[in-house]
Every structure is written in C-alpha cells, then in structure tokens.
Amino acid sequence: MTLDAGGTLLKFSAIRDGALLFDPLPIPSESHDLDRCLAHIIDGFELIRGRLPHPPAAISFAFPGPTDYKNGIVRDLPNLPGFRGGVALGPMLEDHFHIPVYMNNDGDLFTYGEALGGFLPYVNGLLEQAGNPRRYRNLLGVTLGTGFGGGLVTDGRLFLGDNCAGMEIGLLRNKVEPTMNVEQGVSITAVRRVYAREAGIPLDTTPDPHAISQIANGDAPGDPAAAREAFRSLGEALGDAIAQALTLSDSLAVIGGGLSGAAPLFLPALMQAVNATWPDTPQGPRRRLFSIAYNIEDPAGRAQFLKNETIQLPVPRSSRTVPFDPETRAAIGLTRLGTSQAVATGAYAFALAMLRQT
C-alpha cells in the first residue's frame, strides 16, 4: 500500500507486480490538524486494504521535505503545519497494521519511479530508436505544487544523503527574488502571488494556478499578461534551480507535480535560464552548463537531442580511430508515468528493496 502525502491531499494506492491495482484515492490532508491528519492516514490505508484481494506485505509512502525517514519519524514540515516536534508516524502505522512501514521523501520517490519505469527508460528508448548509441543512467527529478521537491537517482540507486535531506532543491536561492528561497518562486503560492501583483488585485481574491493558466491561454476572463508573467517568472526561477542541480548531477531532468500541467507556459523561460551564459568571465561568455540542455517536449529540441553526431577520432601515434561525440547533452521533460503513479512506483520499488534486505 502506498501514499503520496502532500500539504493539500493524501493520495492512497496499492501496487502489485509493479502495476497500480486501482486509481489513487484522494483524501484531504487537513495538515493543520495533527489528530485529523493522522486519522485520515489510517482511514485511507484501511480503505485501500479493504479493496485488496490479498493482505498487503508492507506500507511504503512519501512525505514532503526532510525528516527521519529511516526511523519513520516526521520532523517539522512547512507544508504540513500540524506535524511539529517529531511525530512517530511509521511506528504508529506498524502498530496499527502489523506490517513493515517505509517512508521517504516525495521528490525522491517520484524520481525513483521515473528512473525505473518512466522518463529515463523513455529517453533511452528514443535514443535506441534513433540509432544513437548514447545512454543515460542518472536522473534529476523535481515536483512543483504546494512546495518544490527534488530527487536524484544515480545508476539505479536513490540518493538519500546522511540526514535524509539530500536534494532539498527548494532551499536554493531564488534567482528572481534573491531574498527568498526558490520554493517561494516555484509553487502554487508563487503563481498566485505574481499574478496578484501584476494584475493589481488582492492576493485573497486571486484564482488558483489552473484558472490562471486558463487566463494565460485566453480561455477564461482575467489579465492574460499578468497570467503569462506568473508562469514566466516560475520558469525562470525553476530553470535557474535546475541548472544549479544539473551542474552537480550531470543527468537528465524530469518535471512533475500539479503545476507541470502548465508546462507550455513556463518551459520556454526554463530552457532559457538553463542554457544561459555567464557573460563576464576572463575567457569571455561561457555556457551556464557544461552540457547543452534540450526540451524533449519540443519536436525540434527532441530531434536535435537524438541526433547522432558521433565521429571517428584518430588515436595519436596509432592507425586506430575511436568513436567520439563532441557535444555533451542533457534533456529536460515531463513525467511519463504521472506524478502520483511515479511516486507510487518509487515507493513500491523502495519497499521491495528493503524487504529483500530483511
């Protein structure tokens, strides 16, 4: 049984043999009230257990933000305000359901799911179909919603960090508003705040991001210029954060979360930020990244990324040649599994790995 726990919704599901048994069951988090939130978590898993044809082997689920995942203890989380001072959630569920319970970060599990069965094999499959020998083994994942989460998978292994706080990408500096962390520029709140500012309306009367995306596309009344700026600003902040992370991960990058549905509105600014240059260096302008990043959702960008430009490079002092691709490349795109399924797939795989160790 799996759970994707967010600040707004708890999404319960179950996986067997790598496949979802039914659509995720959403229940409001009520994260401001600890007792009600804990009751919803137990009730959600009970509802899922009641639908299963066989008893579950384990619970594996995701929480937003760093916490003591190894011991199942939730620390203070900004998007779940009811959890304060340490809450032994994992042990509570073990006592109730009498099966092993595993917890991890939602951004980590999203990335793990996309690395195992989503974006990473999708891109490698495209390369194979194109006759390009290049293959990728590493994946950076980010989720955009109530908060801004991240994860990293290297060679099939999930990077966790020594304090279960690896890849907390939301704590990077915000390029657009440097006195804030980037989560404040890449979230539901950020889209609403920028729209309110640009449209000159009170924040408490500002619509949600889905409505703002409709305004930007001309499908709903409102201020389309303000709506477009709200998502452009998000794309610039997000692209800068992804660029910083890619300098360390040297990987592909996949985007998920509720705001990813508005990707056409922010991907252009994102790609511009990722592929920016540093103008003032002793050597002149230099690329922000060592690699050129391509938008895999754009047909032209995808074609250029997949293009095989391998040449035969002469070996000095030899008659031999060796294959060499002179361009280093990265690809950025959207979830192939869907965010909830990617998280569930990652949680399932993580639980199986842990059960094999016991």
Model confidence pLDDT, tens digit, residues 46-67: 999 999 999 999 999 888 777 7
Return the closest-CA partner of residue 275 out of 327, 324, 330. Answer: 330
Phi and psi dihedrals of 43, rounded to 5? -60, -40
Looking at residue 276, its pLDDT comes to 93
Looking at residue 20, its pLDDT comes to 85
Residues 255 and 240: their CA atoms lie apart, in Å, by 14
DSSP-derived 3-state class of residue 20: strand
Instruction: Provide the residue type at 216 as one letter.
Output: A
Return the closest-CA partner of residue 345 out of 71, 153, 188. Answer: 153
Ranges 2-16, 161-175, 258-272, most confident? 258-272
**Across 49-63, 92-106, 108-122, 272-286, least confident range:** 272-286
Q: Which residues lie below 8 Å from residue 258, measured CB to CB, with a gap of 6+?
A: 144, 145, 188, 209, 339
Looking at residue 68, its pLDDT comes to 86
Q: Which residues pair with 4 in a beta bridge?
A: 11, 62
Residues 162 and 338: their CA atoms lie apart, in Å, by 29
Q: Is the Cβ–Cβ distance between 39 and 69 less than 8 Å?
A: no
- Give the residue, 308 or 32, on which the prediction is more confident: 308
Looking at residue 280, its pLDDT comes to 74
Looking at residue 101, its pLDDT comes to 95
DSSP-derived 3-state class of residue 220: coil
Instruction: Provide the residue type at 268 as one letter.
Output: P
Residues 67 and 74: their CA atoms lie apart, in Å, by 5
pTM over 0.85: yes
**Ordered domains of the chain (ranges, CATH):** 2-104 (3.30.420.40), 119-336 (3.30.420.40)
Residues in the chain: 358
Structure confidence by residue, pLDDT tens digits, 277-324: 888 777 777 888 899 999 999 999 999 999 999 999 999 999 999 999
- Calculate the average pLDDT of the chain: 92
Structure confidence by residue, pLDDT tens digits, 174-205: 999 999 999 999 999 999 999 999 999 999 99
Number of H helices, E strands in the chain: 10, 17
**Helices 224-249, 209-216: inter-axial angle, 10-degree rounding:** 110
Q: Is the Cβ–Cβ distance between 319 and 87 less than 8 Å?
A: no
Chain centroid to CA 79: how far? 16
List strand residue ranges (DSSP E) for the chain, in order: 2-5, 9-13, 15-16, 19-20, 25-28, 59-63, 101-105, 138-144, 148-154, 157-158, 252-256, 277-278, 286-287, 292-295, 311-314, 321-324, 329-334
- Give the residue, 212 or 7, on which the prediction is more confident: 212
DSSP-derived 3-state class of residue 210: helix
